[in-house]
């Protein structure tokens, strides 16, 4: 299993949101760090086929990002998402199961499994509009996992989760990373420290660091801040 991002760029008028990024990802958990506006969300949207790259290619095991086959192995959680007002948690998941092409019988079983996984089984029949931010976020995570994806892209997945939920989420991601490519972005450096096998750091559209990071190398937060202050000093 291999995701190849080859010389991918995204340009908006004069601004290069993502600047010639090339990287190969294999099964494991990758943490994407960067300041606001560094290009993380743009990169993730391109990896999900939502944005077309200005140049470069993205393939998963040889399948191009624009193909239906690519989307069928993809699980995505955007930074912000809504819901149709009449939807209950179950309706929401069943709706996305249909969009992911999962037949109804399997979908129902999978929805129950996932509601239980994210501890929402008791509120499966309740309307989402009554949910807290954390509950909504857990529902979003469940939605991303409906199709047993091989490629999981999570944009700020821990936002809104309380500490207990965050620990549970980390454990889940650890499990998923064993046989999937998981790419997650967050502002919370400690989340990356605990979950990710590999760290990717973006600045101004460029990938300025890629590699493994463990505690023997020091504190990731300090390292992350150093990357930025050093770069800033040059400017």
Partner 1 sequence: MDKWKDELKKAFDAPNPMKKRAFLRSIDYPKMSIYSFLYSQIGYIHKWVWGISALFFFVSVLGSVFVPDNAVWLISGLTPLLALTIISESGRSERYKMFELEMATRFSLRSVTFARLTIISIMNYLLLLVILLITLFINISIPLTSSLYIVTPFLLSAYTGLIIVRKFRGQEGLFICVGVSVGISIFLFISHNIIPQIYQEQYFSLWLIAALLLLLGNIRQYNAIIKQTEELIWNLL
Binding positions for partner 1, rule: CB under 8 A: 12, 17, 42, 45, 48-51, 68, 71-72, 74, 76, 78, 80-86, 95-96, 98-104, 106, 143, 147-148, 150, 176, 179-180
Nearer Cβ to partner 1 (124/140): 140
For residue 15, give both structure tokens.
């601004």
Q: Smallest distance from the beta carbon of 232 to partner 1, in angstroms?
A: 25
> What tokens does 232 get?
């800033």
Residue 70 vs residues 11, 55, 128: alpha-carbon distances, Å: 23, 19, 29
Residue 71 CB, nearest approach to partner 1 (Å): 5
Cβ neighbours, 10 Å, residue 196: 26
DSSP three-state, residue 124: coil
Nearer to partner 1, 101 or 133 (CB): 101
- Distant-in-sequence, close-in-space partners of 66: CB < 8 Å, separation ≥ 6: 49, 52
- The minimum distance between CB 176 and partner 1, in angstroms, equals 8
State in angstroms the smallest separation of the CB of 223 from partner 1.
30
Question: Which of 50, 57, 43 has its CA nearest to residue 6?
Answer: 57
Q: By C-beta, is 106 or 226 nearer to partner 1?
A: 106
Specify the DSSP class assigned to residue 155: E
- Residue 126 C-beta: closest distance to partner 1, Å: 18
Element (H, E) at 28: strand 28-34
In the structure encoding, which two tokens stand for residue 190, read together?
């400690």
**Residue closer to partner 1, measured from CB, 103 or 163:** 103
User: Helices 89-99 and 104-117 sit at what angle, rounded to 10 degrees?
Assistant: 130
Least separation in angstroms between CB 15 and partner 1: 10
Closer Cβ to partner 1, 51 or 209, answer by number? 51
Which CB, 71 or 166, lies closer to partner 1? 71
């Amino acid at each position: 299993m291999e995701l190849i991002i080859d010389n991918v760029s995204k340009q908006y008028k004069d601004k290069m949101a993502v600047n010639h990024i090339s990287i190969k990802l294999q099964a494991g958990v990758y943490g994407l760090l960067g300041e606001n506006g560094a290009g993380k969300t743009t990169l993730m949207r391109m990896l999900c086929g939502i944005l077309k790259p200005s140049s470069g290619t993205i393939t998963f095991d040889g399948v191009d990002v624009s193909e239906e086959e690519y989307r069928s192995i993809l699980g995505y959680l955007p930074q912000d998402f809504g819901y149709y007002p009449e939807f209950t948690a179950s309706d929401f998941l069943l709706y996305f199961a249909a969009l992911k092409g999962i037949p109804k019988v399997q979908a129902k079983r999978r929805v129950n499994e996932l509601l239980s996984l994210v501890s929402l089984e008791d509120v499966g029949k309740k309307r989402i509009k009554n949910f807290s931010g954390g509950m909504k976020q857990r529902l979003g995570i469940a939605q991303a996992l409906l199709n047993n994806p091989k490629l999981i892209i999570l944009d700020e997945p821990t936002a809104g989760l309380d500490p207990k939920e965050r620990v549970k989420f980390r454990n889940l991601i650890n499990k998923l990373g064993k046989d999937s490519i998981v790419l997650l972005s967050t502002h919370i450096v400690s989340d990356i420290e605990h979950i990710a096998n590999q760290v990717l750091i973006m600045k101004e559209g460029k990938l300025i660091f890629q590699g493994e990071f463990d505690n023997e190398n020091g504190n990731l937060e300090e390292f992350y801040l150093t990357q930025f202050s050093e770069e800033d000093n040059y400017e």
